[in-house]
Structures are given as structure tokens and as C-alpha cells.
Amino acid sequence: MKEIYIVLTHTGTALSRMIKWFTKDEFTHSSIALDAELKQMYSFGRLNPYNPFTRRICT
């Protein structure tokens, strides 16, 4: 069976800090990886860091 690794982070962006303040959670972002070395992770991000409503898929 293949394993999926979930990586939780706090990115430090203004939106991330707002989410952290509101939720009181330590982490505000998640990524997934398919290898234990975490060499290639998949995540969602924004095209413009100041606009949370446009997005892209990062690899």
C-alpha cells in the first residue's frame, strides 16, 4: 500500500497570520507528499500573495 505524507506548516503571510489568530491553531497550511524524503510536495498557493482569491497549484 502506498503512503501519503501530510506536512503542516505556518507560512507567515498576512492571511496565514489572520487564520492563526482566528483559529488559535499552530499550523495554517498543508501539503502532501508521496515519498518519505518529501522531495516533491503538492500544495495550493496564490498567484498574487496579496490576493487570496486567485490561486494556482504548486508542485
Q: Provide the pLDDT for residue 55.
A: 57
Number of domains forming the structure of the chain: 1
Find the domain containing 20 and state its range.
5-58
Q: Provide the pLDDT for residue 29.
A: 86
Decide if 11 contacts 36 (C-beta within 8 A).
no
Strand order in the sheet with 41-45: 5-9, 29-33, 41-45, 56-58
pLDDT one digit per residue (tens) for the chain, 59 residues: 789 999 999 888 887 888 899 999 999 888 999 999 999 998 876 666 666 666 555 55
Q: Provide the pLDDT for residue 7.
A: 93
Grid cell digits, residue 49 = 500573495
Q: Provide the pLDDT for residue 11.
A: 82
Q: Provide the pLDDT for residue 4.
A: 95
Q: Provide the pLDDT for residue 28.
A: 87
